[in-house]
């Protein structure tokens, strides 16, 4: 019986609500309606008073979470779209992220962001915000790419005493399925070798992991074996695994769905260039979305962000350099 | 009459499929435009699939209670010609067959384009001479120099040697017998490599050895021919030292003293003892020291004070039977004088109008062409030959 | 603990006179301590901003004395009196101003950003309005736990009510019917911005209707009115009356910060009733009621001075933060911190 990425997130929340009385969920339309993406479907009914509808007030949603966390709760805030989290940016980066460092009191909140693009989503329903939050000290940023990680990393996020920005990918919600929920998991902060390779390394995260694997399969028919590293969490970033992979292959392509300037891919390449320059047999490359807002029309959207075909083209250049 | 497909629409973001809950019409029913003809349920809501125009339902390809992905063809409508044109022959959507609507986990069955070799070389890579950081690190680790890789074909952009090329080259080396190179060998290799970075040239001319051989026969202790050459070169350089200068930056750095070295073959290598101030003392005075140095060199007991600091070197490759050669000057020197093996040969004597036997040898000068040209080299060589042919002056 | 700090006095248990005098003692201590801070600032002993609450002591102390140990308080910039009445100490305040390593903020944040969240004494951040929803969240947590009779209070100024955060916080607290008391100190100026450039309604109290909450309007210069009204507001909230919005009119009697001379303040306001010093009014009220005489008032002031001096002198001798001993880790869980950026 297949379980989708979205169902895994719902199962994780159900488990948390059942086993930890400190957990509650707060967000727009999460109660009776079950959430815009149905991530909390049935949970308000199953756990009365624990899954609450908020007004359209991302700032206040975050403030509530912070205050509740100070009092010992473990709140989960569902933002309806990652793109709207900027309305609560002040509370996230200036309040929650600074709380422990300033007051020595931990702030154990989880903010779930439905992230990434789908056809027709347009500029305000498609963004990937991980670089923005990773930039601020005091936050942990998770980007699960698999059904299994969506489940176990959400459980871990709630257990962590610090604020976690949990970037779920909207496209993966219903398009990604697994056979069963896992019983073991890599801890957050560890990257996963999604595909072993020999000739080059792709370091990426979230939906781009699947695009990269598809690219690797295409290149395999041409005799290349490409290694794909799934970061799983963008901050902390598992630099050791990245360097070990580059040590094996000598070539690096960093791929991300987000905007290019100063993004996760820039951080990956900076770390490799500064700590493992001597491992590179070719200049490192990166591939991101274009430096424009996310377009609406599927024709434009299809080219705006990296696809398996685009990643393969970049790869061929890297392999022949 | 034309037929158009009814397609499963995208009923919300991130929705991938929907379930058929009701088929209120049968095959053969006439329907209007924008009419709900199939009821489907997604995770969020129950909605209807509408007709793009009026027509007759002629086929359903779906069953109730089954789920189908977005883009799937649910059935077909028979429509009028005008309607078909108006909505587009494919019902106004790009998807036509059900073969294209694969999910994320379907195996890729795309056509693979052939690989393109010889992609443009990025300007910053510097072509065949580029050594990547990884290459440098590996070469460092193995003690390799760029010269060691001269025989490696590069498969990277612009013909550069990649790490795979290097590792392949090294593993093929393992198929050969390998012995350790002695420290002497490695030191000479390094010196020659460094010397070779300069543009070197060699000029040569014949020299008659008869006078020298006669002179030598009359000596009680016979000086080696090399010493004659050292003394001749030293006198010539005392007269003009410029040819022995070095080009450093934009300056010719002149020699301080006329110290001349000479090559002595030692085990697995060459040593170069030095006769200091060889231009100041006659050969007889230099002889004891010369013999001493030769012996020390052969035993490899040459003290540091007797090596280095010479401004030019003499090599007598005639002792190996060679008649000519293009030896490589020491990396810190501009000149290398070479003396080949003497051979008796006929020479036309104009006065006697007959061939007379002479002992002739090749005299060569290898030099750093940045410091002097053929003319200066030729003049120096002429002077040395002249002196060698008047051994009483040495 | 300083001698001039009276024990907390509960409404319904203690008589009004005792409560009033306790409130006055907090007002006086706050005033004297802040005068000391201003002097130290001008003496170059304090780095960064110094923001005083002169003119607002009556209002602030009045909320502080009405809060109990299990209540939640998120004070703002000019609430020295209220903080002391709740859980703040002169030593904590002095240490924070001097950036002492031993203070509650350990030198990582300063002046009025201090707090002890684990004790329900929340630490403000500079972005105004965010504390409303934060206190609301704290109250929701107490409600989840089944804790009854808890009140949360937060103070804000006229300027802060313009922010979206204020709106969102008060709105959702009203929707959730939380026992949140919002005290708006309308001191007529937000830095240099007068009220007529801050809002367009006649009076901020009109907003109570808009949010669906109970509203109270008071003369912030009148300590008696402050104490009576805040007592009623807090008890109403405690009894389940939902959010209470208290708006007090008074005048900021100092610059925005000690770096500001407030030359823009309308002189007419200064000489009008709104410009009265609440400590002077308190003195009049105390003497009129015969609750204390001049000698006692003077001795209370002396005591406050002694306590303030002692706290400041002690804190000035404290060790300062050492950048080499700082952990430079913003996460409570060090396993997730990326040490590579911390090499010196």
Q: List pLDDT tens digits, range A175-206.
A: 999 999 998 889 989 999 999 999 999 999 99
Contacts of B357 (CB under 8 A, 6+ apart): B344, B345, B346, B347
* Two tokens, residue A152: 């176990």
**Residue B45 pLDDT > 80:** no
Best residue in B11, B41, B127, B134 for a mutation probing chain A (most A CBs within 10 Å): B134
Q: Count contacts between A and C (CB, < 8 Å).
A: 154
Output the pLDDT for position B18. 86
For residue A184, what is the DSSP state? -
Output the pLDDT for position A34. 93
In order of A176, A222, B94, B102, the CA distances from B109 in angstroms are 19, 15, 19, 10
Q: Which residues of C touch A24 (CB under 8 A)?
A: 144
Q: Which residues of A touch B125 (CB under 8 A)?
A: 283, 321
Q: Which residues of B touch A177 (CB under 8 A)?
A: 103, 105
Low-confidence winner among A42-56, A61-75, B40-54, C138-152 (lowest mean pLDDT):
B40-54
Three-state SS for B100-139 is HCCCCCCCCCCCCCCCCCCCCCCHHHCHHHCCCHHHHHHH
Calpha distance A4→A174 (Å, rounded): 6
Calpha distance A125→A114 (Å, rounded): 9
- Residue in A125, A169, A210, A304 annotated catalytic: A125
Q: How far apart are the first and last CA of chain C?
A: 40
Output the pLDDT for position B115. 41
* CB burial of residue A244 (10 Å; 0-12, 13-18, 19+): middle
Q: Does A321 contact B156 at a Cβ distance shorter than 8 Å? A: yes
Banded pLDDT at C343 (limits 50, 70, 90): low
Q: Does A221 contact B112 at a Cβ distance shorter than 8 Å? A: yes
Q: Which residues of B touch A (CB under 8 A)?
A: 10, 13-17, 43-44, 103-105, 108, 110, 112, 115-119, 122, 124-125, 132-137, 156-157, 162-164
Q: Does C130 contact A91 at a Cβ distance shorter than 8 Å? A: yes
Low-confidence winner among B87-96, C5-14, C170-179, C326-335 (lowest mean pLDDT):
B87-96
Nearest to A161 among C142, C333, C338 (CB): C333
Three-state SS for B282-310 is CHHHHHHHHHHHHHHHHCCCCCHHHECCC
Output the pLDDT for position C1. 39
C28: helix, strand or coil: helix
Banded pLDDT at C49 (limits 50, 70, 90): confident
Output the pLDDT for position C13. 76
**Residue B212 pLDDT > 80:** yes
Q: Which residues of B touch A210 (CB under 8 A)?
A: 104
Q: Does A102 contact C113 at a Cβ distance shorter than 8 Å? A: yes
Calpha distance A43→A47 (Å, rounded): 6
Mean pLDDT along residues C135-145: 97
Output the pLDDT for position C341. 60
Q: Dihedral of CA B164/A256/A12/B105: which sign?
A: negative
Q: Which residues of A touch C333 (CB under 8 A)?
A: 160-162
Contacts of A188 (CB under 8 A, 6+ apart): A140, A142, A153, A156, A157, A160, A232, A233, A236, C336
**Tokens 């991130």 belong to which residue?**
B14
Residue ranges for chain A with pLDDT beneath 50: none
**Residue B116 pLDDT > 70:** no
C-alpha dihedral (B58, B61, B65, B66), degrees to nearest 10:
-170
Contact A116, A169 (CB under 8 A): yes
**Residue B123 pLDDT > 50:** no
Q: What strand order describes the sheet that includes A51-53?
A: A51-53, A23-27, A74-78, A110-115, A164-169, A140-142, A233-235
**Bridge partners, residue B359, by sequence:** B344
Give the Cβ contact number of residue B120 at 10 Å. 9
Banded pLDDT at C8 (limits 50, 70, 90): low
Nearest to A281 among B43, B117, B134 (CB): B134
Give pLDDT tens digits for B272-293.
Answer: 999 999 999 999 999 999 999 9
**Residue B125 pLDDT > 80:** no
Output the pLDDT for position B82. 81
Calpha distance B385→B206 (Å, rounded): 8
In order of B357, C6, C222, C284, C301, the CA distances from C297 in angstroms are 137, 14, 18, 11, 6
Output the pLDDT for position B127. 60
A320 in catalytic set: no
Buried b (16+ CB within 10 A) or exposed e, A206-237: bbbbbbbbbbbbbbeeeebebbbbbbbbbbbb
Q: Strand C72-74 and strand B354-368: pairing?
A: unpaired
Buried b (16+ CB within 10 A) or exposed e, A269-288: bebbeeebeebbbbbbbbbb
Give the Cβ contact number of residue C220 at 10 Å. 30
List subunits contacting chain C, requiring 3 or more Cβ pairs under 8 Å.
A
A76: helix, strand or coil: strand
Output the pLDDT for position B186. 85
In order of B22, B73, B190, C28, the CA distances from B33 in angstroms are 19, 18, 88, 81
C-alpha dihedral (A8, A14, A15, A18), degrees to nearest 10:
180
Nearest to A24 among C138, C139, C144 (CB): C144
* Two tokens, residue A243: 């360097």
Mean pLDDT along residues B87-103: 46
Output the pLDDT for position C187. 96
Nearest to A67 among C108, C138, C164 (CB): C138
Q: Which residues of A touch B136 (CB under 8 A)?
A: 278
**Residue C172 pLDDT > 90:** yes
Instruction: Identify which of C293, C324, C253 has the alpha carbon closest to the alpha carbon of residue C55.
Output: C253
Q: Which residues of A touch B130 (CB under 8 A)?
A: none
pTM: 0.77
Banded pLDDT at B12 (limits 50, 70, 90): low
Output the pLDDT for position C342. 54
Q: Does A103 contact C105 at a Cβ distance shorter than 8 Å? A: yes
Calpha distance B195→B188 (Å, rounded): 10
* Two tokens, residue C298: 């003077």
Mean pLDDT along residues B217-239: 94
Q: Dihedral of CA A119/A122/A123/A127: which sign?
A: negative
Output the pLDDT for position B329. 94
Greatest CA separation found in chain B? 133
ipTM above 0.90, yes or no: no
CA–centroid distance for B210 within its chain: 49
Instruction: Identify which of C43, C72, C77 has the alpha carbon closest to the alpha carbon of residue C59.
Output: C77
Which residue of chain B comes nearest to A176, CA vs CA? B104
List chain C domain ranges: 9-316
- Would you call the peptide bond into A236 cis, given omega within 30 degrees of 0 as the criterion? yes
Calpha distance A248→A202 (Å, rounded): 12
Output the pLDDT for position B308. 86
Best residue in C137, C147, C150 for a mutation probing chain A (most A CBs within 10 Å): C137
Q: Does A118 contact B13 at a Cβ distance shorter than 8 Å? A: yes
**Averaged pLDDT score across all residues of chain C:** 93
Best residue in C121, C139, C144, C339 for a mutation probing chain A (most A CBs within 10 Å): C144
Contact B216, B394 (CB under 8 A): no
Fold observed for domain C9-316:
Rossmann fold (3.40.50)
CA atoms within 13 Å, Cβ hemisphere of C228: 7
Q: Which strand (E) or helix (H) includes residue A26?
A: strand A23-27
Q: Count contacts between A and B (CB, < 8 Å).
A: 82
Banded pLDDT at C32 (limits 50, 70, 90): very high
Give pLDDT tens digits for A130-174.
Answer: 999 999 999 999 999 999 999 999 999 999 999 999 999 999 999
**Averaged pLDDT score across all residues of chain B:** 85
Nearest to B16 among A120, A175, A283 (CB): A175
Q: Strand C189-190 and strand C193-194: pairing?
A: antiparallel
Output the pLDDT for position B299. 87
Output the pLDDT for position B91. 42
Three-state SS for B39-74 is EEECCCCEEEEECCCCEEEEEECCCCCCEEECCCEE
C311: helix, strand or coil: helix
């Amino acid at each position: 019986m297949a379980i989708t990425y979205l169902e895994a997130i719902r199962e994780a929340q159900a488990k948390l609500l059942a086993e930890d009385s400190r957990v509650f969920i707060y967000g727009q339309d999460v109660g009776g309606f079950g959430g815009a993406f149905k991530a909390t479907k049935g949970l308000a009914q199953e756990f009365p008073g624990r899954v609450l509808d908020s007004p359209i007030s991302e700032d206040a949603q975050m403030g509530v979470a912070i205050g509740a966390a100070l009092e010992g709760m473990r709140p989960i805030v569902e933002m309806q779209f990652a793109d709207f989290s900027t309305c609560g940016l002040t509370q996230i980066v200036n309040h929650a992220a600074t709380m422990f460092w300033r007051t020595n009191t931990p702030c154990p909140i989880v903010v779930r962001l439905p992230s990434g693009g789908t056809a027709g989503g347009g500029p305000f329903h498609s963004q990937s915000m991980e670089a923005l939050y990773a930039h601020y000290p005091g936050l942990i940023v998770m980007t699960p790419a698999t059904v299994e990680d969506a489940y176990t990393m959400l459980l871990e996020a709630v257990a962590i005493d610090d604020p976690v920005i949990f970037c779920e990918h909207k496209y993966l919600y219903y398009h990604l399925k697994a056979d069963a929920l896992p019983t073991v998991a890599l801890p957050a902060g560890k990257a996963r070798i999604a595909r072993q390779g020999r000739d080059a390394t792709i370091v990426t995260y979230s939906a781009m992991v699947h695009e990269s694997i598809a690219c690797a399969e295409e290149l395999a028919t041409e005799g290349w074996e490409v290694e794909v590293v799934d970061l799983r969490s963008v901050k902390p970033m598992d630099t050791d695994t990245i360097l070990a992979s580059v040590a094996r292959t000598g070539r690096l392509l960093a791929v991300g769905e987000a905007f290019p300037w100063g993004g996760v891919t820039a951080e990956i390449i900076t770390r490799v260039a500064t700590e493992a320059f001597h491992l590179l047999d070719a200049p490192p490359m990166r591939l991101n979305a274009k430096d424009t807002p996310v377009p609406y029309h599927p024709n434009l959207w299809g080219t705006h962000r990296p696809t398996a075909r685009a990643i393969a083209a970049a790869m061929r250049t890297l392999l022949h350099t | 009459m034309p037929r158009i497909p009814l397609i499963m629409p995208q009923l919300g973001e991130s929705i991938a499929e929907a379930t058929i809950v009701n088929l209120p019409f049968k095959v053969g029913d006439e329907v209007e435009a924008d009419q709900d003809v199939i009821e489907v349920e997604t995770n969020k809501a129950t909605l209807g699939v509408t007709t793009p125009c009026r027509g007759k339902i002629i086929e359903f390809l779906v069953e109730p209670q089954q789920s189908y992905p977005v883009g799937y063809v649910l059935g077909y409508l028979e429509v009028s010609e005008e309607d078909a044109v108006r909505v587009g022959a494919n019902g106004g959507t790009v998807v036509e067959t059900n073969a294209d609507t694969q999910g994320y986990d379907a195996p890729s069955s795309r056509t693979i384009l052939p690989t393109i070799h010889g992609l443009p070389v990025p300007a910053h890579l510097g072509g065949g001479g580029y050594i990547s950081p990884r290459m440098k690190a590996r070469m460092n680790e193995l003690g390799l120099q760029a010269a060691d890789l001269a025989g490696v074909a590069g498969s990277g952009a612009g013909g550069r040697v990649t790490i795979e090329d290097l590792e392949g080259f090294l593993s093929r080396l393992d198929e050969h017998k390998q012995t350790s190179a002695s420290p002497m060998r490695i030191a000479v290799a390094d010196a020659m490599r460094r010397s070779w970075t300069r543009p070197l040239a060699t000029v040569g001319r014949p020299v008659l050895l008869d006078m020298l051989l006669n002179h030598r026969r009359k000596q009680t202790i016979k000086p080696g021919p090399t010493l004659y050459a050292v003394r001749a070169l030293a006198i010539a350089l005392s007269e003009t030292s410029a040819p022995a200068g070095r080009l450093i930056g934009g300056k010719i750095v002149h020699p301080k003293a006329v110290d001349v070295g000479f090559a002595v073959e030692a085990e697995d290598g060459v040593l170069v003892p030095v006769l200091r101030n060889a231009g100041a003392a006659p050969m007889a005075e230099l002889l004891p020291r010369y013999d001493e140095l030769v012996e020390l060199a052969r035993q490899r007991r040459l003290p540091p004070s007797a090596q280095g600091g010479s401004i030019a070197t003499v090599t007598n490759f005639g002792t190996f039977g060679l008649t000519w050669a293009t030896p490589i000057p020491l990396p810190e020197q501009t000149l290398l004088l070479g003396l080949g093996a003497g051979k008796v040969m006929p020479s036309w004597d104009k006065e006697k109008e007959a061939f007379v036997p002479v002992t002739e040898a090749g005299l060569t000068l290898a030099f750093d062409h940045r410091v002097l040209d053929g003319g200066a080299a030729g003049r120096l060589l002429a002077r040395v030959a002249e002196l060698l042919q008047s051994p009483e002056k040495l | 603990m300083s001698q001039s700090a009276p024990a907390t006095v509960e409404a319904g248990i203690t008589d009004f006179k005792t409560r009033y005098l306790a409130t006055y003692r907090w007002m006086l201590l706050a005033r004297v301590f802040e005068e000391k801070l201003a002097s130290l600032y001008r003496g170059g002993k304090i780095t960064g901003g110094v923001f005083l609450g002169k003119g607002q002591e009556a209002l602030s102390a009045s909320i502080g004395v009405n809060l109990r140990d299990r209540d939640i308080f998120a004070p703002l910039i000019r609430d020295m009196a209220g903080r002391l009445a709740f859980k703040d100490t002169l030593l904590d305040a002095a240490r924070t101003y001097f950036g002492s390593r031993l203070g509650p903020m350990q030198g990582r944040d300063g002046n009025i950003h201090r707090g002890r969240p684990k004790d329900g004494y929340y630490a403000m951040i500079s972005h105004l309005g965010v504390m409303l929803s934060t206190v609301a969240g704290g109250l929701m947590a107490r409600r989840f736990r089944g804790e009854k009779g808890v009140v949360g209070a937060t103070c804000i100024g006229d300027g802060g009510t313009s922010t979206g955060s204020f709106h969102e916080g008060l709105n959702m607290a009203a929707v959730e019917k939380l026992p949140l008391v919002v005290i708006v100190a309308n001191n007529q100026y937000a830095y240099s911005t007068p009220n007529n450039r801050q809002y367009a309604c006649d009076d901020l109290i009109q907003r109570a209707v808009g949010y669906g909450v109970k509203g109270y309007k008071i003369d912030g210069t009148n300590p008696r009115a402050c104490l009576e009204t805040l007592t009623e507001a807090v008890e109403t909230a405690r009894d389940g009356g939902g959010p209470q919005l208290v708006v007090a009119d008074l005048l900021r009697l100092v610059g925005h910060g000690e770096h500001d001379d407030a030359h823009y303040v309308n002189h007419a306001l200064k000489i009008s009733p709104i410009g009265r010093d609440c400590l002077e009014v308190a003195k009049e009220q105390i003497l009129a009621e015969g609750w204390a005489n001049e000698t006692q008032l003077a001795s209370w002031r002396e005591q406050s001075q002694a306590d303030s001096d002692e706290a400041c002198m002690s804190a000035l001798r404290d060790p300062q933060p050492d950048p080499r001993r700082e952990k430079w880790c913003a996460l409570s869980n060090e396993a997730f911190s990326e040490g590579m950026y911390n090499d010196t």
